[in-house]
Amino acid sequence: MFRTEIKVMLKAGVLDPQGVAVQGSLLTLGYGNVGAVRVGKLIQLELDAPDQAGAERQVDEMCRRLLANPVIESYTFTVTAADGSCTAARASAADGAPAVRPEVEG
Amino acid sequence: MRFGVVVFPGSNCDADVYHAIRDVMGEPVDYVWHKDTAADGYDCLVLPGGFSYGDYLRTGAIARFSPIMAAVAEHAAAGKPLIGICNGFQMLLEMGLLPGAMLRNDSLQFRCHFQHLRVENAGTMFTGRFAPGEVISVPIAHGEGNYYCDGATLAELAAHGQIVFRYCDADGNVTPDANPNGSLANIAGIVNRAGNVLGLMPHPERCADPLLGGAERADGARLFASLIDSWERGMAGGR
């Protein structure tokens, strides 16, 4: 069993209206030292996989097919064995990579 | 011309589209359930507006993997007309049948009002009854209609006449003030390169029945009538 944490953020350069609103609110509260704010998503999932590499491969595929939209979002994730024996982190292709969505599969 | 309206959990404009097609346009129409796996026999499929799957994850992201969607993609690949309205447009983007993606409205507000649109391409199978550059009025109702794509994609869209509708003011000026959601280049609706897949945020079905707002606000009916014209002339799959 593996535990995964996937972080999905809007790509750099893509306007984040939520982040802008939160920034404005923090400034209103008097936190005048706040700079840019970005709001993203954190997804945790448990995964049954034969080994670490297989788990990572599958999570990466899930990110590309469903959990993130490569047109506007990038993702990073960590995969940790349930017994804590092994942890690995991976990230999506750099911003600016071709934004192509995979075709629908039956 | 036979229409199919795909119904997802959370669709809320399916009945409006059904009414516009059957009662206003006088064409045969069926509901198509999202769990069906075939959509044969339809000349046009419509993905209606609403909040499919509660907009969880991203708008349209879950609906994209509904059992019916393989048949919807086949329908589009065969060159038959496919219209995505509002949430349906978001699904078409998630499916990759149209380029780009939707972001939260830049105002963070849910915008719900009649909106002026400029007809940028009156040569599509969906817009023959409009004049080029004509200003029409169609309701919008969305929180995530802020269209985004990269610069190369935008250039492609413009170069091939794929931008069909832009948000504008009453005089047809495409300005930031007339943009209700922050959409790139004021984009309100686009078609695919082949011209048979239309995605738009405004709701033509909500201004199709003259009983609802008077004949001068029936611009939505003209969109459906344009498509039926095209089909009768063999331009949209044909008889």
Distance from CA of B2 to the nearest CA of A (A): 24
Instruction: Give φ, ψ of B215 to 5 degrees.
Output: -60, -30
Cβ–Cβ below 8 Å for B94 and A101: yes
Radius of gyration of chain A (CA): 17
**How many whole angstroms from its chain centre is CA A14?**
15
Which candidate in B13, B44, B86, B207 is catalytic? Answer: B86
Active-site residue B44, yes or no?
A: no
Judge whether A6 and A75 are in contact, CB under 8 Å: yes
> Tens digit of pLDDT per residue, chain B (239 long)?
999 999 999 999 999 999 999 999 999 999 999 999 999 999 999 999 999 999 999 999 999 999 999 999 999 999 999 999 999 999 999 999 999 999 999 999 999 999 999 999 999 999 999 999 999 999 999 999 999 999 999 999 999 999 999 999 999 999 999 999 999 999 999 999 999 999 999 999 999 998 887 667 799 999 999 999 999 998 777 54
Token look-up 């036979």 returns B2
